[in-house]
Amino acid sequence: MTSQPISNIRNFSIVAHIDHGKSTLADRLIQMTGTMTDREMTDQVLDSMDIERERGITIKAQTVRLIYAAKDGKQYTLNLIDTPGHVDFAYEVSRSLAACEGSLLVVDASQGVEAQTLANVYQAIDNNHEIVTVLNKIDLPAAEPDRVKEQIEEVIGIDASEAVMISAKTGLGIEDVLEAIVHKLPAPKGDRDAPLKAMLVDSWYDAYLGVMVLVRIIDGTLKRGQRVRMMGTNAAYEVDRIGVMTPKFMPIDELGPGEIGVLTASIKEVADTRVGDTITDERKPCDAALPGFKPAQPVVFCGLFPVDAAEFEDLRAAVGKLRLNDASFSFEMETSAALGFGFRCGFLGLLHLEIIQERLSREFDLDLIATAPSVVYQMTLTDGTEIDLHNPADMPDVVKIKEIREPWIRANIMTPDEYLGSILKLCQDRRGVQVDLAYVGSRAMVTYDLPLNEVVFDFYDRLKSISKGYASFDYNLSDYREGDLVKMSILVNEEPVDALSVLVHRSQAERRGRAMCEKLKDLIPRHMFKIPIQAAIGARVIARETLAALRKDVTAKCYGGDATRKRKLLEKQKEGKKRMRQFGKVEIPQEAFIKALKMDE
């Protein structure tokens, strides 16, 4: 591949609300520019992980270089950086955007602007992007392009009169998108003769090539064999390979200013690379690193334990493997009185947590118990020590605590008018503080400050069910605020089950405690004896349920009868047992740990 003049390069990303058609459009662009043959196109090329495809969400940002012969007779190199479509990965999104000069704003013409459309497009605008508005799904009978254009102008405040109308599904209008990219988005700028300055945009692990690092060259050139230094981690490497993704890796000799490509350099783990870091020449470094470098911080933690204690080593190997490819996932060993050996894991957010759990059970075939997700609390102790608490089980004695602070988020919710009342109530119940309420046509746009603690568990599920799926939600971590938080323990048959203890706001403790006891009463099977289930703060019991004793043995009714039937029943019971955990004399099913925490209001 010959090197292009910088004026023929366009770097762009696609910003959209989930499901508005970002991946479908990306695939069409790849197909139209002949980068791949139809046979090579799997359903959606850019979302390559199984779970991503199944759930239809983009998790890891990927990139692709397209060669487009435009109507003006010139050939252009278009670099598309795919951004993850979820708030958990906000920092990755911000770095991907910082690597481009423009964005395609894709809006579903039948749905209009949603919460994530706003969050993402504002980020693009913050990065000084030129924006090309694309209205997708105009093939749908419900499409209302004129109304949506108006809405975009009104809500986002950008000119939508020249919006490109397309159907990514049928292929209509895709060439217009390519022309708009070439003519409306600016070419990158950069100085070829300056020392190398490149941004580390993303990294991932490839089974054949090892750790691959996606870079955007700002100034200078990057060549094979060059010695480079990462300015944030201060590690130095010799570059083994340079290439571009088409979307397959294709080796090239050199990357110049404005270009986006990939390097490999015998880097052992993805964790050795930091998104947002600046890469420079070891011998002739640039003066200053790029601004805005911020290592990813886990915000949600939970314990993961094997159902079968013998699988602990398998779990250790599995989390180690996942970490190879995901620097933002962290873990350390943990022991629980109730659950034995496991790991305390840190995640960027709830979706991230769910993805990792799912991968562990699916790809590694592990049966896991996950404890209640918890946020990171900051504490000041009476002796002045500051600690970060990741696990409610490690909560210091209350007399030693001077102050507890919890993370708050600013949430944007967009919803059809008719669900607004219930949504406001939900936010209010979760200790929310209303910041703003505005209308866009018949849709309400509410901004709330909420404690992350109240959102982590099932806020999103509740929001979706209240609004029949129509409300959309987006958030940013804002600050830490002091809170009157207490540790609530759950006792089953008088024994505390540490994996079920949670930190709650004092005002919510009784309600949460009662709900958890009621849930557990339904989730724990009856035993031969009566089982008290209690919620307590310190020594004070705040809620109690009693699970009545079971009278008969399951096989009693086939006494003297058919032996096969009896064996089958026992086997069935054994199967059930595998998913149970013994607590003192009581067996608690695996599913109880998560289900007990869900609130049906």
**Where does this chain bind ligand GTP (CB under 6 A)?**
16, 18-24, 47, 56-58, 85, 136-137, 139-140, 167-169
CB 61 within 8 A of CB 98: no
* Ligand-binding site membership of 391 (annotated): no
Distance CA 115, CA 134 (A): 17
Rounded alpha-carbon distances, angstroms, from residue 514 to 395, 498, 511? 22, 17, 5
Query: Min. distance of Cβ 56 from ligand GTP in angstroms?
Result: 5
141: its two tokens: 């009978």
323: its two tokens: 């970490």
* Ligand-binding site membership of 22 (annotated): yes
For ligand GTP, the closer CB: 58 or 472: 58
Query: Min. distance of Cβ 8 from ligand GTP in angstroms?
Result: 28
Please tell me whether residue 182 adopts helix, strand or coil conformation: helix
Query: Min. distance of Cβ 519 from ligand GTP in angstroms?
Result: 31
592: its two tokens: 């109880």
Distance CA 307, CA 301 (A): 19
For ligand GTP, the closer CB: 139 or 587: 139
For ligand GTP, the closer CB: 23 or 534: 23
* CB neighbour list of residue 565: distance below 8 Å, 6 or more residues apart: 558
* Ligand-binding site membership of 129 (annotated): no
φ/ψ of 476, rounded to 5, equals: -135, 140
Query: Min. distance of Cβ 331 from ligand GTP in angstroms?
Result: 26
DSSP string, 109-143: TTT---HHHHHHHHHHHHTT-EEEEEEE-TTSTT-
472: its two tokens: 């959309």
Query: Min. distance of Cβ 378 from ligand GTP in angstroms?
Result: 33
Distance CA 105, CA 124 (A): 9
For ligand GTP, the closer CB: 56 or 292: 56
For ligand GTP, the closer CB: 134 or 502: 134
* Ligand-binding site membership of 112 (annotated): no
DSSP state of 145: H
461: its two tokens: 């599920």
* Ligand-binding site membership of 278 (annotated): no
* Ligand-binding site membership of 458 (annotated): no
For ligand GTP, the closer CB: 353 or 369: 353
* Ligand-binding site membership of 138 (annotated): yes
For ligand GTP, the closer CB: 56 or 421: 56
Query: Min. distance of Cβ 217 from ligand GTP in angstroms?
Result: 27
Query: Min. distance of Cβ 23 from ligand GTP in angstroms?
Result: 3
Length of the chain (residues) = 601
* Ligand-binding site membership of 394 (annotated): no
* Ligand-binding site membership of 365 (annotated): no
Instruction: Report CA 551 to chain centroid distance, whole Å.
Output: 47
Binding positions: 19-24, 136-139
Binding positions for GTP: 19-24, 136-139
